[in-house]
Structure 1
Amino acid sequence: MTEASIQGHGSAKRLLAHTPFSSVSHCPSRTPRFTNASVSRRLVASTRASRKQPEEEEHDYAGLLKKTWKIFSLSPLYKFKPSKVCLTKYERSLDVAFSQVKTQGWSTETFGNEKTFFSLYEGLNFNHNDAQAVQIQVVEKSDSGGQGSIVLNALLICVDLDGSPVPDHLSNSFTYYPVILISGNKARTDVLLNWLEQHFDCQTSHVCFSNNDLRWMLGMWSSQAVAMKAFPVLLQYSLADLCDGISTIDCKFEAAFCSELWERLNGSAFSREAVNEAEVNKFVTALEEHLEYTMHIMFSKLCLSEVGTSVAYVSSQGKLKLFSNSGVFPALHLICEIVKDRFQDIHYTLT
């Protein structure tokens, strides 16, 4: 039912305040206090019509599953338009950004002959207020003139938000994507993020998740029905600065056990629309009490550094891996809500 293992040890950007949202934070080291987080979160899409009926085919999220993504947050983008004409213009602009980097002394091993492609990504809009998801692909062309290979993938997403930080009177000027998922090396990622900041007067930031965020993910995703060969549920605890020579403790449960435990504690989540913080805490506390009884370690005093379920694995450092089409909505909706709540908790002045 459970297993555990112990493992050993193994640039801020300056923004110009042009819009109300680009001036959200002038101090990169500042850690805002997120006091306005919601006490309940949805398990299903807000629009009833967007729910998948039993006879409908499940959407195929090509290229999104079983890939490691890094999560970054975005403030609202000024004058960004997800239209075909504008996306073509953005392709040319980002191509120029990559070509300029190569003239600044970067080695050819870091950058090659890059070509960028922008396109609309289907299946991630569950609410008519959501901005259409946009996929950005960077392809490195081969010297032989072949098709080339994709060296960076990125997705601008807004998945069924409960409210937006952009007031109605500014909605025509700003497009809000709380999250951009990126799969690619750091150098190309920096080029893309710098380009977004310079052209749409926004702020980008690498997302890190708190212990409370990871508890929410663990509870909500473990409550979902699981397949016969589901991935185990993982609780990884950090021992940084607590124990010399040991960095983490990994604890694993069978997914079916966690689903059954949730149902015994809180009732079935199959027909429910939302769960609340008390239910999440009750579930995670029960898991930790079981671990404390069997291992004699006070897990409730430690902080989670990674959680994994049959829906997704995510780390406190903002790395994400999705496993199933059915898990895309619950995973990305929760992540978007967490990031949005953080942004809204930072005070700014709108004119």
Structure 2
Amino acid sequence: MQTPTDGVSTPQSTSVLRSSIAPYQNSRYPIGSLTSTRRRSSYRIPSKRKIPQSTPIQETFDPQKAALLLQKQWTLYSVTPMYDFSYTKLKEYSKHLSATIVAEKQKGVAVDLGSDVAFKANFSCLPGLKGKESDPTAILVQITGKSPISKPGTEERIVWTGWFCGPYTEDEILEVLPETFTCLPLFLTNGSESFTAIVGTWFQQAFDCCFGKLVIRSLDLRWLAAMWAGYEVQGHVPTTELVFSVPVEPHMDISFAIHPEDFKTLWNDIQKSKDEVTVEEVEHLFQCLYSHFFRHFKIHLSATQLVKVTVAVASAHCEGKVKFLSKDHLVRVLGFLTEIAVNNIQY
């Protein structure tokens, strides 16, 4: 799937409307590919980040839908605010997207499971994924498939899943947007890229928004490792793992496995406040890890690049891949990814 990095222009007919919602840029695109948003000219490196208050998943959150989000690898995108999106029209959107998928199949667009499979799209809400009351309700989009020759009573199976969310979105952003816009800056997908392209371009055409592949920078991965270190979860806690890419040919990765309690103890000794994390604390944590690794293996990890982090609550890769390992603190982790997504579309 192609994601050009050049900027996009705003249609003249909507330029007046768009001027009130800077720093976002929107445009319309033809079906066929998912076009990236305009990137920031310089990445804003925060000096500190607040730790969100623990927000348990609300009782209104369907346990079956919660299970859909865990133990799967999700590809991350940033998305600009959607114009004229309505939560009361989800059934209508389901019909329109289903019709679009059928039309793309008839034009020969490659989709999984073969040409004889009937696909159907379904929109629904994920009301439990909020960091605070002002956050817009998350949206789940599923594509199911069923062969016409299937036996009666055979259930349709899910072939693609995507969801839009934005827990802990900054109030400054929500307040500046007109009521005609819905801000759900984080988009996560699991399934075929052909379906992702169809769904993404349908949203671009229907709601005048645009998407960008979300890359998690090495610095953000270090923040994630530090901030997630103190998150306690129930049940089995996996080993904390940091994967570093070595700049040599042929390509080589170094995996640094740490007992989660040791990692947490080290972080607790460094972190001064339970309400926020500073960049100095994050750098201090990794300098300690680098020094420990060098004493044992005589390798300078500071000369490598952190590409993957796995802790108790989630696993994240620099290519914009995330797997949620526990429902505990899911909303808080999504809030951090939302901040990265918003950074990706501001300039």
Q: Which runs of 4+ in 1 moved over 6 A?
A: 56-59
Relative to the length of structure 2, the TM-score reads 0.84
Q: Residue 141 and residue 306 in structure 1: after superposition, are their counterparts in 2 closer, same or farther (change >3 A)?
A: same
Please report how far the alpha carbon of residue 80 of structure 1 lies from its aligned counterpart in structure 2 after TM superposition. 1.0
The corresponding residue for 1:349 is none
The corresponding residue for 1:162 is 170
Please report how far the alpha carbon of residue 75 of structure 1 lies from its aligned counterpart in structure 2 after TM superposition. 0.7
Please report how far the alpha carbon of residue 217 of structure 1 lies from its aligned counterpart in structure 2 after TM superposition. 0.6
> Would you say how many aligned residue pairs link Structure 1 and Structure 2?
321
Q: After superposition, what is the alpha-carbon deviation per residue over 1:161-205, rounded to whole angstroms, capped at 9, x for unaligned?
A: 23353553x421211111111111111111111111111111101
The corresponding residue for 1:91 is 94
Q: Is the 8 A contact 2:233 2:326 kept in 1?
A: no
Runs of 5+ unmatched residues, structure 2: 19-23, 30-34
Task: Please say if 1:121 is aligned against 2:123.
Answer: no
Give identity over the alignment, percent.
23
In structure 1, give the amino acid aligned to 2:83: Y
Q: Distance in 2 between matches of 1:137 and 1:52?
A: 24
Correspondence list, 1:221-232, <5 A: 221-225=228-232, 229-232=236-239
Q: Distance in 1 between matches of 2:181 and 2:234?
A: 41
The corresponding residue for 2:254 is 249
Please report how far the alpha carbon of residue 28 of structure 1 lies from its aligned counterpart in structure 2 after TM superposition. 5.5
Task: Please say if 1:38 is aligned against 2:46.
Answer: yes
Q: Residue 38 and residue 244 in structure 1: after superposition, are their counterparts in 2 closer, same or farther (change >3 A)?
A: closer
Relative to the length of structure 1, the TM-score reads 0.83
The corresponding residue for 1:288 is 290
Q: Is the 8 A contact 1:222 1:259 kept in 2?
A: yes
In structure 2, give the amino acid aligned to 1:12: T
Task: Please say if 1:12 is aligned against 2:3.
Answer: yes
In structure 1, give the amino acid aligned to 2:261: A
Please report how far the alpha carbon of residue 228 of structure 1 lies from its aligned counterpart in structure 2 after TM superposition. 6.5
Q: Which of these residues, 308, 317, 338, is aligned with residue 336 of structure 1?
A: 338
Q: Distance in 2 between matches of 1:30 and 1:248?
A: 31
Q: After superposition, what is the alpha-carbon deviation per residue over 1:304-340, rounded to whole angstroms, capped at 9, x for unaligned?
A: 1111101110100111101111130221111001111
Q: Distance in 1 between matches of 2:38 and 2:303?
A: 25
Q: Residue 225 and residue 93 in structure 1: after superposition, are their counterparts in 2 closer, same or farther (change >3 A)?
A: same
Q: Distance in 2 between matches of 1:226 and 1:34?
A: 36
Q: Distance in 2 between matches of 1:309 and 1:203?
A: 32
Q: Distance in 2 between matches of 1:151 and 1:135?
A: 14
Q: Distance in 2 between matches of 1:57 and 1:93?
A: 31
The corresponding residue for 1:100 is 103
State the Cα RMSD in Å.
2.8
Runs of 5+ unmatched residues, structure 1: 1-10, 347-351
The corresponding residue for 2:32 is none
Deviates more, 1:319-328 or 1:272-281: 272-281
Please report how far the alpha carbon of residue 219 of structure 1 lies from its aligned counterpart in structure 2 after TM superposition. 0.8
In structure 1, give the amino acid aligned to 2:171: G
